[in-house]
Structure 1
């Protein structure tokens, strides 16, 4: 009988005992060091004359971080100030060595996840401890692409698996840079912090992902500046406290300063008064770590890499983007006194931005996806005052209030739609009616779309004006019976770009050459590709009608055509018009890039760029 294979040890959060080969000092258990251990360590480090004093004073490992220059002198350490400070630095450095030793764990303590995008990925035991909490498991019940799943049956993936993928890629990129450029001094603690940031970056997403923070919250809390990143940080803090993970973090060498660093990696604080904020838990020479999970500089980060590959896979859209190749040719160089991640493979980088644009054009901004979003938001807004969620200390909160209470927010998932539909509360009757319309595919009708000629852009406050203008285009003398009204129309503005508004994202990227890898340079657009468009943003104006009767649809078509004629706009066929509202095939035409606008975002309120990720 063949012997059974050795099973992988279960990850239970217990601290693995590790020791460093050199001198065999067990830094992972520094608190348990005896005065003899301290004496032996200092002797090995060249402080043989002073080491016995630590033994005489019975200084053990747990007291090391309390030692100061004055205390050392009181102990009888009589040596030059330079040597004294050197010894003190060596003593305090033990704490860092302890943290590093705790962070690094044996390979057999890593947990393996089988992922359809990245294959078998191994995660640190602390990451597993975070995953195995109600706050993180909540992400299993939030669709990655929100309402797109109701149009594309393959888009069934959730924020949960995306978060695991980002964690994996974050660690992989860190280790690639660590191996390639050892002078960067990337520690195991740095890697773990970046991995946790990748794992937790989407903890704050609400029901149906971006539908909640970009459509529902602006309607219910119009003056709020809340973003899902704010909730990610608040949820991580709540997760740690609610599950008593402070001690587990400490067991692996992560303390309050490191947790603050992780939160900054998720959402880097903005500059105040044009001054750069101090780095928390991270030395200035490691500022490049902020560009791995959420790159505010140019949008090239592992979050984007994972969602492009994962969404393309589940939507059935082909893409030539290869994050592994891009990662291989990354290196860190100093740019204007700050270290930045620089690229060499400009072609693959261009593929990444085109893939993102293509996903928005073909799936995220699909005309049926957007109208379902609008209808679901309408239902949730009507339910907001009547559908309450239990928060901290049993307080009942509106859905819009739950964003500030992580106990309540933990219970906010895509399931709220089903809860409303199953409710017999008369106050929710109108919300149920709208949700049942979505279920029966009785959607608001798409009338048509057009574009305002560049360089003009459309602003949020113009939507109501547009509706009134379209209604006024009716030829009243030819109208029989009930008239079409402005409140029966919906205007939706679609923003399509390459991730940086009207800017060329490549302009924000520093490149290096094989011949001169230490020099970071900017490239002209023609050095990247002759196929890049002249402009990098376009807007589409879409019109929908809430009334589904033929006579209203015909009136809406006539009014929209008349309005476009007066404005000298061209009525365009939506590129996914080939799709019936119940279909999910991807046969679409090519976007006319000649309409792309190279514009800066003005002071007026711009229609938000619906960034699904």
Structure 2
């Protein structure tokens, strides 16, 4: 018996057997209640899509890419379906706070769910995989982009050209209502070649690879690093850090359960402000330097904790080619080249995310004071 799921991005998606059983499992169904873009719906009202539909879309993309590459194995599609199963409440929005407290990222939890390890001993995923003859360990490695046994499959899930990103760029653009994300993935998939564990483009692949790089940068500038999205996420992070009943099991919650917990804790007023979109306002914006950050933190050091946010956009960790992912390889005029060496557009965009700004936002209580303090020599 098969199911047809109507995906607004890809149309009808057919699943059966192992895929259907995974989708019906407890931890996969939980993804229905984890927003793909955290609190970005406070800025882009349509951004209410979930990790559930993105995971289905990534599976569909993996199947399309496998067909184009004539890969008969279903491991890429299975791993794609499971690649985000460990996401925490509000997706990446609170991942820094969770990491600071518990030293794990969502890939760690994905692995534990696929393997049925503590605290996910009740996960049915390993039994489903073994029932159909697949090793949970192999699937976990591919899903987290770390497989030595199947390095090509890992690259398909997490690489310079990967099915995860192609789905989320197209999906996020659609639901945010922004005019980007038009990636001709079918043309790209049909022009890719396999070179060891790498996916390599050819000359006719270059325009589509360029469109992915452009879309990626535009989406980060326009959506993912939008100042109001970041303010809301940081405020929610403050509320969580201030909660006196937080524990490691909070990472297993849905968005709704998480908010309910915070509303019943000591940080309830801050959470209410976030939910009512009564957010901190930007009091200062300037170019980033290390010296400027030190100066600002010194100036604001006596103000009440959690009444203001000092943010760097894009964040300092978001730097280099591994973040912009402009290191795809192409077979160009008889030799293998990095996309930057054959595309003036890719080269021009290579430093785009290195221009960083400091944003200081504040509550009404300290906004005026910060505005005065920031008029400094």
Q: TM-score, normalised by structure 2?
A: 0.87
Alignment of 1:22-421 (within 5 A): 110-178=2-70, 186-187=71-72, 190=73, 192-214=74-96, 216-221=97-102, 224=103, 226-238=104-116, 242=122, 248-254=128-134, 256=135, 259-269=136-146, 279-280=148-149, 282=150, 287-295=151-159, 298=160, 300-319=161-180, 320-333=182-195, 338-344=196-202, 345-383=205-243, 385-386=244-245, 398-399=246-247, 401-402=248-249, 409-421=251-263
> Which of 326, 343, 359 matches 1:527?
343
Residue 558 of structure 1, CA deviation: 2.7
Question: 1:303 & 1:419 partners in 2: Cα distance?
Answer: 31
Q: Is the 8 A contact 2:38 2:93 kept in 1?
A: yes
For residues 494-540 of structure 1, what are the alpha-carbon distances to aligned partners after superposition, in whole Å with 9 as ceiling and x for unaligned? 11799762679576222124x75xx5333554634388246232211
Any idea what SS the aligned residue of 1:157 has?
A: coil
Question: 1:507 & 1:136 partners in 2: Cα distance?
Answer: 32
Match of 2:287 in 1: 451
Q: Is the 8 A contact 2:80 2:157 kept in 1?
A: yes
Match of 1:538 in 2: 355
For residues 302-333 of structure 1, what are the alpha-carbon distances to aligned partners after superposition, in whole Å with 9 as ceiling and x for unaligned? 10001100000001111232222221211112
For residues 138-184 of structure 1, what are the alpha-carbon distances to aligned partners after superposition, in whole Å with 9 as ceiling and x for unaligned? 00011000011122210010100000000110111011100xxxxxx
For residues 3-33 of structure 1, what are the alpha-carbon distances to aligned partners after superposition, in whole Å with 9 as ceiling and x for unaligned? xxxxxxx3xxxxxxxxxxxxxxxxxxxxxxx
Question: 2:369 & 2:26 partners in 1: Cα distance?
Answer: 51
Alignment of 1:435-584 (within 5 A): 435-452=271-288, 458=290, 466-469=296-299, 485=303, 487=305, 488-495=307-314, 501=320, 508-513=327-332, 520-525=336-341, 527-529=343-345, 532-533=348-349, 535-536=351-352, 537-546=354-363, 548-549=364-365, 552-562=366-376, 566=377
Any idea what SS the aligned residue of 1:114 has?
A: strand
* RMSD, matched Cα: 3.0
Residue 195 of structure 1, CA deviation: 0.8
Any idea what SS the aligned residue of 2:360 has?
A: strand
Question: 2:193 & 2:309 partners in 1: Cα distance?
Answer: 48
Q: Which has the greater radius of gyration?
A: 1
Q: Is the 8 A contact 1:353 1:498 kept in 2?
A: no
Question: 2:318 & 2:116 partners in 1: Cα distance?
Answer: 31
Residue 444 of structure 1, CA deviation: 1.8
Of Structure 1 and Structure 2, the greater helix share is in 2
Residue 468 of structure 1, CA deviation: 1.6
Question: 1:511 & 1:303 partners in 2: Cα distance?
Answer: 20
For residues 519-568 of structure 1, what are the alpha-carbon distances to aligned partners after superposition, in whole Å with 9 as ceiling and x for unaligned? 5333554634388246232211000122x15xx43332232232xxx3xx
Q: Is the 8 A contact 1:111 1:122 kept in 2?
A: yes
Q: Which structure 1 residue ranges, 5 or more long, are not aligned? A: 1-9, 11-109, 179-185, 270-277, 387-397, 403-407, 472-483, 567-613
Q: Which structure 2 residue ranges, 5 or more long, are not aligned? A: none
The 1:152–1:358 alpha-carbon spacing in structure 2 relative to 1, beyond 3 Å, is same
Of Structure 1 and Structure 2, the greater strand share is in 2
Question: 1:279 & 1:380 partners in 2: Cα distance?
Answer: 37
Any idea what SS the aligned residue of 2:355 has?
A: strand
